[in-house]
């Protein structure tokens, strides 16, 4: 069973305005959809969206394909596959286990209310502990 952890506003290294939300997934075998909820109050600002992964030492992939389904407050739905290309770095172990991958640039969330994102791996994967979305102001 997935445990949903919601982290809003104020992620480390994220300048304001920034919004971040994440869902915990099973690190033994992530295969089910993870639902991430973001509350939107600004329908004018352009934002950049990025996906992030928190992984443990069992994660050995350099790419990961996920299916992303976005549901707007007025029930519009958009779904697509997305390939995360993960770059490994030679740094401390704690830094090697977090990945931030750009997803969309200059998006506008046109409705106020709760947006729901369902992220599902195309195939089961080991070692992913959490998946999340970071929205930041597009400059």
What separation, in Å, do the N-terminal and C-terminal C-alpha atoms of the chain show? 39
Q: Which residues contact 22 (CB under 8 A, 6 or more apart)?
A: 5, 6, 7, 36, 52, 54, 130, 131, 132, 133
Sheet bearing 63-71, strands edge to edge? 34-40, 113-121, 63-71, 77-85
Query: How many structural domains compose the chain?
Result: 1
With a cut of 70, say whether residue 95 has pLDDT above it: no
Token pair recorded at residue 137 = 């102001």
11-67 pLDDT, tens per residue? 344 545 789 999 999 999 999 999 999 999 999 999 999 999 999 888 989 999 999
Confidence at residue 93, expressed as pLDDT on a 0 to 100 scale: 59
Confidence at residue 48, expressed as pLDDT on a 0 to 100 scale: 97
Confidence at residue 117, expressed as pLDDT on a 0 to 100 scale: 97
Residue range of the domain that includes 83:
18-137
With a cut of 70, say whether residue 9 has pLDDT above it: no
Confidence at residue 92, expressed as pLDDT on a 0 to 100 scale: 61
Q: Is residue 8 included in any domain, yes or no? A: no
The mean predicted confidence, pLDDT, of the chain is 86
CATH at residue 55: 2.60.120.260
Q: Is residue 13 included in any domain, yes or no? A: no
> Which pTM does this prediction carry?
0.82
Q: Is residue 75 included in any domain, yes or no? A: yes
Distances (CA, A) of 34 to 24, 26, 49, 120: 8, 10, 17, 6
Confidence at residue 44, expressed as pLDDT on a 0 to 100 scale: 94
The model's confidence at residue 134, banded by pLDDT at 50, 70 and 90, is very high
Q: Is residue 65 included in any domain, yes or no? A: yes
61-71 pLDDT, tens per residue? 999 999 999 99
């Amino acid at each position: 069973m997935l445990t949903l952890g919601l982290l809003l506003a104020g992620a480390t290294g994220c300048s304001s305005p920034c919004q971040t939300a994440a869902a915990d997934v099973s690190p033994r075998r992530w295969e089910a959809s993870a639902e991430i909820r973001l509350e939107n109050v600004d329908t004018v600002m352009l934002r950049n969206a990025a996906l992030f992964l928190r992984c443990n030492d069992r994660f050995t992939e350099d790419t990961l394909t996920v299916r992303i389904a976005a549901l707007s407050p007025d029930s519009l739905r958009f779904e697509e596959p997305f390939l995360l290309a993960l770059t490994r770095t030679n740094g401390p172990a704690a830094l090697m286990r977090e990945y931030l991958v750009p997803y969309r640039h200059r998006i506008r969330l046109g409705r106020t209310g709760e947006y729901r994102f369902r992220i599902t791996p195309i195939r089961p994967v080991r070692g992913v502990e959490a998946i999340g979305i970071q929205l930041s102001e597009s400059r």
